[in-house]
A and B are shown apart, each in its own frame.
Chain A
């Protein structure tokens, strides 16, 4: 399982653009569990991706294998052992 870190958050991952998680090939995690696992290693990530109620911030998107997680169950969306997950800031104007 691979998690892609946007450039603006890499100061909180020691400059790493990807974080690989070693999980059993048959296991599946939720998006929330993946964020929690990555954030245990890089604690600066959690509060920037989720608010204090554990909700995905309004202008942050999670993509799982190219699909927006909001349409896959949100933070409950399944992330397979061979999946790739991207954290993206939303595009916005102003």
Chain B
């Protein structure tokens, strides 16, 4: 049942769910047995991204988009009871650049760069930085002017910069992933960017898909190691992206969108394989989360509580996330509007909500 105002307490689990028809906020205590929902927020607008800023006063930020009036980053300082939309657009490409904002695919509170810092990835592919908790943003010029830009091609979802990773010990090292553009690393805090796609397989049919990463995540214990769900293939790098090796052996499909890493255990990762390329539903209509506990050397399906037949939903790249509790909680949303949760690291699943609009993103955080 939806409530108009959530009353969070320290230690509660916050779920921010963006859909094509608005945002929904879920809140539970640490037992994660009873999620209360508020929403829809921004009804009728698509909400592609969300983040929680826990430093100082709590703030939720979302990347909301009206098909009529454009996209922007809005924020709430009272867990969704009220929202502040910027009077003027707060993510803009330079006048005269002939580029204009479509949507905001990624929002990340980058506290290792500064307590007020938020990074945004957008379509068309670009990185923006905010130093005031998501109220105003500045374009990363080095990536925007990268000589590779002319080779980037929009995919079915647009030309989106969807993954932003800041190295936890060395925040000058950052990674971004672009569909269909590739993976780029900066070692100087975003002042320059180098491509890191060595080893990724070329898709035989889809032009540009060779450089079409779908989701990039750090390993929980070793940030030199990252995992990638690519358009074709699933990959691991153990050397900061200088080379990638395939880890898809054992999965029912090399295609999918999300990739999630366990919050603490290195080598434990989750993905949601889909039949490629036109169909994009679980193989055989049997939706399963697949888990590896050894960095992708072997995989196991996790399906208790998920449909055993006739399950033809899709999980998009930003619609799967993990909390930081013990045991870790997992959450994914589908394009059919179901929101699933596991409180035992994927062993079993249950639906928190079943009839939401198509889900674009699921982010989680602990209220502090």
Contact = CB atoms under 8 A, between A and B. Distances in A.
Interface of A: 8-9, 12, 43-44, 46-49, 51-55, 57, 59-60, 89-90, 92
Interface in B97-144: 97-101
B172 interface: no
Interface residues of B, number: 19
Contacts of A46: 88
Interface string B233-262: 000000000000000000000000000000
Contact of A51 (B67, B70, B96): B70
Contacts of B95: 52-54
A9 B96 CA distance: 26
A92 B101 CA distance: 20
A90 B68 contact: yes
Secondary structure at the A interface, as helix, strand, loop or mixed, is: loop
Most chain A CB neighbours (cut-off 10 Å) among B87, B92, B97: B87
Interface of B: 66-70, 72, 87-89, 92-101
Contacts of B69: 8-9, 48-49, 57, 60, 89
Contact of B89 (A52, A54, A90): A52
Contacts of B66: 48
Given A43-B87, A51-B101, 8 more contacts: A46-B88, A47-B88, A48-B69, A52-B95, A53-B96, A57-B69, A60-B68, A90-B68
Contacts of A8: 68-69
A77 to B, nearest CB: 20
Nearest to B93: A52
Contacts of A44: 87-88
A19 B98 CA distance: 30
Contact of A92 (B67, B93, B99): B67
Given A43-B87, A44-B87, A60-B68, A53 B101 contact: no
Contacts of B89: 47, 52
A51 B102 CA distance: 10
Contacts of A43: 87-88
B137 to A, nearest CB: 12
A46 B70 CA distance: 11
Nearest to B20: A94
The 4 closest A-B pairs by CB, nearest first: A48-B69, A47-B89, A51-B100, A52-B92
19 contacts: A43-B88, A44-B87, A44-B88, A47-B70, A47-B72, A47-B88, A47-B92, A52-B89, A52-B95, A53-B95, A53-B96, A53-B97, A53-B98, A55-B100, A57-B68, A59-B68, A60-B68, A60-B69, A89-B68
A53 B94 CA distance: 8
A80 B204 CA distance: 58
Most chain A CB neighbours (cut-off 10 Å) among B67, B69, B70, B87: B69
B63 to A, nearest CB: 15
A57 B66 CA distance: 11
Given A52-B100, A53-B100, A54-B95, A59 B87 contact: no
